[in-house]
Structure 1
Amino acid sequence: MSDKDSLVRLLDLDPEFIIDIKYATDNNFTKQRVYNFNDCYLNKDTAILLIKAKKIFKKDGYKVKVWDAYRPIRAQKLLFEIVPIDDFVATPPDMRKPIIFEYSHMNGLSVDITLVDSNGNELEMPTEFDDFTEMAGLGCDKIPPQARKNAEYLKSVMESVGFKAYRNEWWHFNDVVTKATPYSDVEFN
């Protein structure tokens, strides 16, 4: 199976997601376009887990907005060059060496999301996307109560279907059910 075959376009499986891939625009912390594609791609099993979560959110009156999903290795390298802080931007792999693959954006096993209400307004969350301050982690005691409640709800639902929240970013979830696959550098047009 090729790298492209292991990834699926989320909207082909379920058209009810709001796709706002931040790195396909200059509306991100780099202030430049990092991806040459603006669709959301995920590992197929990860996409199925996300659809399960979406169904729960939908029953509660919310929609899911996806900010990031599959990320090519070259994009990971660029992001790390800009912010070389491993707690926020993972160190890119040296693919010339043997590697143990983990859940990652680079194999479509990680997703960055938020929730929107029935009018399309994003729910109040602890920070904006890609905030590199302590406020981005749910352990911070300065988070306003409603923002904490919304982020904890998001985390609870995502973890109930097989994702694990990343401690430093309220928006980042890793599929810990699916076996990790090799990282990819394929780009979609």
Structure 2
Amino acid sequence: MTLPRRFASWAILMAILPCLFVPDTTRAADPAPGPEISALTRAGLVEVTALDPTIRLDMRYATTNNFTGRVVYPSGRCFLRQEAAARLAAVQADLRARGLGLVLYDCYRPFSVQKTFWEATPDKGYVGRPVEEGGKPVSGSKHNRGMAVDAGLVDATGRPLPMPTDFDDFSARASRHFTGGDPTAAANSRLLAEVMARQGFRPISSEWWHFDADGWKACPLLDLPLPPEK
């Protein structure tokens, strides 16, 4: 379907400049938010499960089941820019109609955690290099902007579907261009990429789970702490 020119222009503007418009997100925040929630809300981030509680979370960095082998998040809660979170809810609606759903492994990531990851694995193919100038972040991950998400698929019961590798597998098998492996897992990876792309999430080549939201360049790098568990 082709949108009328005036609507298409507005859609393009909103896609590339989401962080120039910080909407009222108070309805998506906790009734009595703590200081961490308040800071994230003022920055334009929302809790994804507040928009759609059917989205499953498996936030690995709140556990020791991750490539660092230690807990680096104070909770397993997922926050994104409101525009990205709304698009993710639309992805979930698309998948729900197919009897499937999303599981999220990582969402917004503080810049300080990015530095921890770089110290553990200084490989730009898998970890965005954190750079500061004058104590201010100037380069890092799209996760630090609240505009990237790591995701997989689950069935109607919440059971994870086979994917090419486990999350955070830093091998050639995790690449979208890998031609070997389980055909079912490869098909699941392609389906995930297709439904994410419909809502403006772009994959990267080295990790089947990672998606960047259109408009990330307009969003600043953040080092706001994540809140504790509810």
Deviation readout 1:111-160 (Å, 9 max, x if unpaired): 00101111221111000000000111110111321111000000011011
Find the counterpart in structure 2 of residue 55 from structure 1. Answer: 93
Instruction: Name the CA shift for 1:180/1:103 in 2 (closer, same or farther; >3 Å).
Output: farther
Q: CA deviation at 1:36?
A: 1.8
Aligned to 2:214: 176
Give SS of 1:120's match.
Answer: coil
Map 1:93-108 onto structure 2 (within 5 A).
Answer: 93-96=131-134, 104-108=142-146
Q: Is 1:26 aligned with 2:64?
A: yes
Offset at residue 12 of structure 1 (A): 1.3
Residue 115 of structure 1, aligned match among 143, 153, 169: 153
1:138 aligns with 2:172: no
The code of the aligned residue for 2:119 comes to: E
User: What is the identity, as a one-letter code, of the residue corresponding to 1:94?
Assistant: E
Listed as ranges, the gaps of 5+ residues in structure 1 are: none
For the Cα contact (< 8 Å) 1:8–1:42, is it kept in 2? Answer: yes
SS in 2 for 1:156: helix
More helix by share: 2
Name the Cα RMSD after superposition. Answer: 2.0
TM-score, length basis structure 2 = 0.77
Larger Rg: 2
CA contact (8 A) 2:129 2:139 kept: no
Q: Is the 8 A contact 2:202 2:211 kept in 1?
A: yes
Unmatched tracts of structure 2, length 5 or more: 1-21, 23-37
Query: Equivalent residue of 2:189, what SS?
Result: helix
1:82 matched to which residue of 2? Answer: 120
Q: CA deviation at 1:56?
A: 0.6
Q: What secondary structure sits across from 1:26 in the alignment?
A: coil
Percent identity reads 34
Q: How many residues align?
A: 189
Q: Is the 8 A contact 1:126 1:147 kept in 2?
A: yes
